[in-house]
Amino acid sequence: MLVTIDHWLSNVNRKLSMNCDDRPEDARISLVVIHSISLPAGEYGTGLVPTFFCNELDLKDHPYLQSLEGVRVAPHLYITRRGLVTQFVPFNLRAWHAGVSSFGPQAACNDFSIGVELEGTDQSSYTNSQYRKLCSILTALIVKYPSISLGRIVGHQEIAPLRKKDPGAGFDWERIYTEVVRHEDAIASRR
């Protein structure tokens, strides 16, 4: 998997969201934020998540969805339980995924981060397909944006701890770090 010159991943579905804008001129992409989402909560494979990120959600489809009225968010990427990837925002643009947030002394994480949503909940485990795809994506992002390192791949709960718990206790951070380190030789040779 590669990041193209126009800041899209190769070989993934594209569905452009308007829930983005320009990054500040001095912003350097240096953080990846992992999130989880399912619509309705805890239900998988409904197809509602992509429509939510593109402001196409019909709030009448389920009573739970009415709480999302007027919400305008989108990550850069979404990975389903089966490992299918959709990109909504090119990486050079600021996707609206993190909300009020900070990482160390830096506030407004949307300015300098890439958001990746996994189909799941903060109480669920994730699938092997999701982990394989996520590791491949993280490797490609580290190659393209060298300011991203293992220590700058975090969960939403780390940048907004009073508001968020995702991706949750079921997310295997050790597996991610081990797999990405295993790809370090590939990363070094592609830089």
String of DSSP letters for 60-80: GG-GGGGGGTT-----SEEE-
CA dihedral 108, 152, 76, 132 (to 10 degrees): -160
- CA dihedral for 110, 114, 118, 119, sign (positive or negative): positive
* Catalytic, out of 117, 119, 158, 184: 117
Distance between CA 115 and CA 85 in Å, rounded? 13
CB 136 within 8 A of CB 11: no
The tokens for 186 are 């590939």
Name 3's Cβ contacts closer than 8 Å, sequence gap at least 6. Answer: 9, 10, 91, 140, 141, 143, 144, 145
Is 25 assigned a catalytic role? Answer: no
- Provide the annotated active-site residues: 117
